[in-house]
Amino acid sequence: MAGKIYTKRGDKGSSRQMDGKFISKSDPQILAVGALDEAQSWLGIVIADLTPACAELKPELIQIQRKLYYLQADISIVEHASITEDDATALESGIDRMMDAVEPIHAFILPGGGHTGAQLQYARTLARRAERACVAFHEEKPERVNPEDLKFINRLSDYLYAMARYANHLDGISEVRSKDE
């Protein structure tokens, strides 16, 4: 029989940290890690559901999932810093590359489009939620969140927006403007 995955230690609303201490499951650190996990898990759905035209996005999305895993470690472990300035720079390069490939727009668009584009737009909102949770934890314990972590999670939602637009481009689907014209 495989090992049990439940410990029952959290049955009273606390979670064991890497250092062995217990904190409330409503602690900003736990909320930040949970929001990052939610975004990372949704990207797994995006990967599983990629349209054939968007299959080229899979390696990039897996890499983002890994970076979110490392970011969770940064937030969970004191003095752990695996996200670097280069990670945010790589996102910026990806944003520029994808936005150069799509038609410029001069208005807000509604989240959606094709299947992959719509799922990436939702991933963008989850990244923003994770960013808010990381900022809340940073405001409570600034020494526990590296500046590179905040820069990366801020840039990630822009990256996912660009990727959503790029996915719609790959699928041959036009975005819908937010206002009737």
Instruction: Copy the structure tokens of residue 116.
Output: 């992959």
Q: What pLDDT does residue 181 have?
A: 63
Strand partners, 55: none
Q: What is the pLDDT of residue 1?
A: 65
Name the residue among 34, 36, 37 with its Cα closest to residue 26. 34
Residue pair 152/71 in contact by the 8 Å Cβ criterion: yes
Phi, psi of 109 (to 5 degrees): -115, 155
Residues sharing a CB contact under 8 Å with residue 109, sequence separation 6 or more, in sequence order: 165, 175, 176, 177, 178
Structure confidence at residue 92 (pLDDT): 98
16 three-state secondary structure: strand
Question: If you search the block for the tokens 């349209």, which residue do you land on?
Answer: 51
- Domain ranges in the chain are 26-170
pLDDT at 180 (0 to 100)? 76
Nearest to 147 by CA among 74, 58, 52, 43: 74
pLDDT less than 50: residues of the chain:
none
Question: Does the predicted TM-score (pTM) go above 0.85?
Answer: yes
**CATH architecture of the region 26-170:** Up-down Bundle (1.20)
The pLDDT of residue 73: 94
Angle between the N-to-C axes of helices 28-48 and 115-140, in degrees from 0 to 180, rounded to the nearest 10: 170
Q: What length does the chain have?
A: 181
The helix (run of H) or strand (run of E) holding residue 124 is helix 115-140
Q: Are 129 and 38 in contact (CB under 8 A)?
A: yes
In the numeric block, the tokens 């983002």 are attached to 64
Q: pLDDT tens digits for 33-70?
A: 999 999 999 999 999 999 999 999 999 999 999 999 99
Burial class (CB in 10 A: 0-12, 13-18, 19+), 91: buried
